[in-house]
Structure 1
């Protein structure tokens, strides 16, 4: 399909816009009493583990690396920091003792819930002036695209 309607450049403008919005100070917008450990880096790890757990009964460092588009060593360092901050439990894999099985703590779940609520609010604010059927259609297309990109 060769559609020359500017959708590709528009998508990349949106990605650049939202990457700037998701800056280190975003946690102040999530929860006024957020701890200093509520960093964007920790949130990336939390979201990656959460996403990977939907398709696997055991999440590994390699899964997080794949989710974040990083090599394993960088992902491992990020996971170590998130574990040190109390967001990730790192245990020996039941399938392969050489690997770590990752899971989220209750505090990570609280942080994730705040981030998801913020994301819902941001989307709602962006399209609040649109007709309801346009919002629903666009929302469906975004979920479809994310599902295809993140699982394919």
Structure 2
């Protein structure tokens, strides 16, 4: 292990995760009367969609870090809110496909815009080169450590 080079990085990362884990989604839903869980599901459905294909419940559950049953309940609430669709696959009637509605796409875009604005505020007093480099490192870390390798 390379603790000499990375000492302090782990606790700093998890301090940020704890601090921002509830705030990021609440920031976008606050003005719209939305639910933080809906944002989490929208992010997970988007990450689980691959090559233009709809997402599957199992893949969304993996993205959420939940078992299939809990993920299904969150998905059902997001569908009921009109932010996602849940349909039977035309290719295999045993499969359920998930996708985002136009309202879900809009909510996801708003969440990501809020995330970009928040990151920009966090590094606003950094030199631009450092901010770009840090953003690149964060994307690299996310790509290497998420189920689909998708940093979003």
Using the size of structure 1 for normalisation, the TM-score is 0.88
Cα deviation for residue 136 of structure 1 reads 0.8
- For 2:15 and 2:50, the matched residues in 1 are separated by 29
Identify the match of residue 82 of structure 1 among 50, 55, 78.
Answer: 78
| 2:141 aligned residue | 145
Identify the match of residue 9 of structure 1 among 8, 11, 16.
Answer: 11
For residues 1-152 of structure 1, what are the structure 2 equivalents within 5 Å?
1-4=1-4, 5-22=7-24, 24=26, 26-28=28-30, 32=31, 34=32, 36=33, 38-54=34-50, 57-150=53-146, 151=148
Residues 101-122 of structure 1, C-alpha deviations (whole Å, 9 max, x = no match): 0110000011111111100010
Gaps of 5+ in 2: none
Cα deviation for residue 97 of structure 1 reads 1.0
Cα deviation for residue 50 of structure 1 reads 0.8
8 Å CA contact 2:25, 2:39 repeated in 1 = no
- For 2:99 and 2:16, the matched residues in 1 are separated by 31
- For 1:145 and 1:105, the matched residues in 2 are separated by 30
Gaps of 5+ in 1: none
Q: Secondary structure at the match of 2:55?
A: coil
Moved more, 94-103 or 58-67: 94-103
Aligned length: 146
Residues 11-62 of structure 1, C-alpha deviations (whole Å, 9 max, x = no match): 111111112423646522xxx3x1x3x2110111111111111456231110
Moved beyond 3 Å, runs of 4+: 22-26
